[in-house]
Chain A
Amino acid sequence: MADRKLGLKEKYQLMTRGLDWETTYQPMDKVFPFDKYEGIKIKDWSKWEDPFRLTMDAYWKYQSEKERKLYAILDSFSQNNGQLNISDARYMTAIKLWAQGITPLEYYAHRGFCHVGRHFRGAGARVACQMQALDELRHAQTQMHAFSHYNKYFSGLHQAIHMRDRAWYLSIPKSFFEDALTSGPFEFVTSISFAFEYVLTNLLFMPFVSGAAYNGDMATTTFGFSAQSDESRHMTLGLEVVKFVLEQHEDNVPIMQRYIDKWFWRGYRLLALVGTMMDYMLPKKVMSWAEAWGIYWEENGFALFNDLSRYGIRLPKYHEIATKEKLHITHQAWNVFYTACPATGFHAWLPQPYEMDWLSEKYGETFDRFYRPRYELFGEMEKAGKRFYTNRLPFVCQTCQVPDFFTEVDNPMKQAVRHHEWRGMKFNFCSDGCKDIFVNEPEKFCQSYIPPQQIYQGNAGGARTLQEYAAWLHCPMGSDAGDYYSSDDYKNWLKWHGGRDTSPTTAAA
């Protein structure tokens, strides 16, 4: 037969269907041991609609083109000392938090998608997950490359992996992903592809990349654009997975609803860190956390769940709590960052006058009544030479591992806390959402590796105080930790700008 060049459609069909077969030497259940135990029933994998029909050669071609463009821009950024053009060195706290907290998640996502890319019975789903696994590895690498230039000039970027396993605030993203990775394959894709990448990703990616552009960080803006077309593929996969599973069997609905409830809440708690970036870490502001929540959740999220209601899926449990909290959580989180920054790998500071005005404008009475008084008091303490740092480990939620800075939704003066007893032991939580997750899976969450508890048990290099802990973290005060205005970053920044503080005096870009 004469050689015939295959069309893209045929190539894709052969890769995702032609390479698949029913095994005979071993039963299929032994070859795919993980895709039934969750109770999800798939009657017909051939009904899987591939969300993107990419062949491997097309995939390599697109990705290598993007890489070439990205690295050309990164090279020119470093040759032109692009780090000097960011709005203010305070902006670097956003980059540090991303490099320390989010980039390792890209690598975790790579591992997770490698796993499900092997263990789904349907070949179409496997191929989609394998491609996403490659994307995630690429994202981890490009982010590290983009940030490595900043590492030459700013502190806190020197040991991301060492810090990931030791920093208390990084146990929040770490435990989030380890929970997903140790779930069944359907829960993994629901958690990462649907709840995180489809429902909540715009709240993570959009503010970060726009924030980079507003603050003159072309390196980050560029890798953001380079990842964007991958992200839209990932979102499509997330929605396809959920619709496919729901269409396969009605018994799948309650299981998927529980996954959606759990991972909406876990994702939302993780995003408190991102909201703090938008409201406090970006010297030039993009939009407030409350505005972003309104657009990306209250408008877009509601529309999505309206579409899903025909499958019997309702809005995630406690979504109304998340919406009420939008006026509070970023201020509460920054209070923790401000007071606990000696034991972190980034700097914090009191908002400047133009930022206080911006926060008043965006949050109105909530900010002026509950949060402005804290900053004013901290300001007085700073003036008196008594900059306040906390010297005691915090109570951390057993499920989300966020230090419990949350208040009751109807009373912002009242500390929020929930309790549960299991097998004779007490467990404490920040919210009903986190308590419910524990009650559903106590065997898993009783193992939470919670930093303050581990420090007290002697598992942080024997550290007993926050100062000893900071040394074990390899983040000493002044260089990597503590207040921005007494940091090396600030001193260097002034030096590079002829002694001039370049901080913006207005929030607008």
Chain B
Amino acid sequence: MSMVTIGTYDFPCADRVENYGTDINIYCCWEHHLLIPCPAAYRLSPEITLRDFLEQVFKPDHDHHPQMLQLDYTQLRWTHDSQPWSPDLAKSLRDNGVTHMSYLSFYQPGLDGVNGSGV
């Protein structure tokens, strides 16, 4: 549906990819770990590999979490924009099909937060 307006109403999106230089904005959520109160937003080069993202960006951000040491990349079940997804960690975000404003999440079966409480 389109907006009802008094005249021409056409403005650019505030977060269009051109505003990020050569980078993109993505989100990433570690399911069942709500000690991290919200999924985080990242400005990244689309050329970074998913493994480097996890190692160099995601992990240092969340190293306070007691379950971080149990994270096993081979066990992760991923979704991309809430659809099941099987990325190649050695490939770049771009080559894995991640685009501007993609929402990634992963879940490791059995890892359900401290004492299984979802935190």
- A-side residues, CB < 8 A to B, are 33-34, 37-39, 184, 332, 335-336, 339-340, 369-370, 373-374, 377, 381, 386, 388, 390-396, 403-405, 407, 412-415, 417, 419, 423, 425-428, 439-444, 446-450, 452-454, 456-457
Contact = CB atoms under 8 A, between A and B. Distances in A.
Given A415-B105, A426-B100, 15 more contacts: A332-B37, A377-B35, A390-B37, A392-B40, A392-B41, A394-B38, A395-B27, A395-B29, A413-B32, A415-B29, A417-B29, A417-B105, A427-B101, A443-B11, A452-B41
Contact of A426 (B9, B36, B43, B81): B81
B69 interface: no
A393 B14 contact: no
Given A34-B6, A413-B32, A453 B39 contact: no
A403 B37 contact: yes
B82 A419 contact: yes
Secondary structure call for the B interface: loop
B48 to A, nearest CB: 15
Interface in B3-23: 3-6, 9-17, 19-20
A454 B15 CA distance: 8
B66 interface: yes
A182 to B, nearest CB: 10
Nearest to B35: A374
Contacts of A417: 29, 39, 82, 103, 105
Contact of A394 (B17, B31, B40, B105): B40
Contacts of A39: 4
A446 B103 CA distance: 17
A369 B66 CA distance: 18
15 contacts: A370-B34, A394-B38, A396-B41, A403-B37, A405-B37, A405-B38, A414-B31, A415-B31, A417-B105, A425-B15, A426-B100, A441-B3, A446-B13, A453-B41, A457-B19
A420 to B, nearest CB: 10
A446 B27 CA distance: 18
A440 B1 contact: yes
A279 to B, nearest CB: 16
B117 A38 contact: no
B15 A450 contact: yes
Nearest to A464: B43
Contacts of B74: none
